[in-house]
């Protein structure tokens, strides 16, 4: 989720001169939707302590379903109640942060250790 936070902050900074405060807030909210949904996913997955493949698969599917429901609900809330939303910034930041979450499999677990040069 660290990279999602970084992308959200960068997008808010980029959109501020383009669309002002509402652009920055829209980018922030787009990132928050993705981050909250990812946190819900991580919470469900982290509670699984079983040993079977079927149990792990059920947990992953349940977590994914909760993530999607959270995303839809939060997107609806923002688009319904924030009347000055900059749709391009909101949806754009949301989409990028969702992609960043999906790319987490390609990032090493321990990023504090510098790679060894041989």
Backbone φ/ψ region at 59: left (φ over 0), alpha (ψ -120 to 50), beta: alpha
Q: Is residue 50 part of a domain?
A: yes
Which residue shows structure tokens 């699984």?
A: 48
What percent of the chain stands above pLDDT 70?
Answer: 89
Mind listing the pLDDT tens digit for each residue in 78-87?
A: 999 999 999 9
Q: Indicate the average pLDDT of the chain.
A: 90
Would you say 86 and 78 are in contact if contact means Cβ atoms under 8 Å apart? Answer: no
Range with the lowest mean pLDDT among 25-34, 40-49, 54-63, 99-108? 99-108
Q: Is residue 95 part of a domain?
A: yes
Q: Is residue 78 part of a domain?
A: yes
Q: How many structural domains comprise the chain?
A: 1
**What pLDDT shows up at residue 3?**
87
Would you say 25 and 11 are in contact if contact means Cβ atoms under 8 Å apart? Answer: no
Find the domain containing 84 and state its range: 2-103
Q: Is residue 90 part of a domain?
A: yes
Which residue shows structure tokens 């999602």?
A: 4
Q: Is residue 116 part of a domain?
A: no
pLDDT at 111 over 60: no
């Amino acid at each position: 989720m660290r990279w999602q936070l970084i992308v959200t902050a960068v997008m808010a900074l980029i959109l501020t001169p383009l669309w002002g405060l509402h652009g920055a807030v829209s980018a922030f909210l787009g990132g928050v939707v993705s981050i909250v949904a990812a946190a819900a996913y991580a919470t469900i997955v982290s509670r699984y302590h079983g040993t079977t493949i079927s149990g792990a698969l059920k947990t992953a599917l349940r977590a994914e379903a909760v993530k999607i429901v959270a995303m839809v609900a939060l997107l609806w809330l923002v688009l319904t109640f924030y009347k000055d939303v900059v749709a391009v910034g909101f949806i754009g930041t949301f989409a990028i942060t969702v992609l960043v979450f999906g790319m987490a499999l390609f990032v090493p677990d321990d990023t504090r250790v510098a790679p060894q040069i041989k």
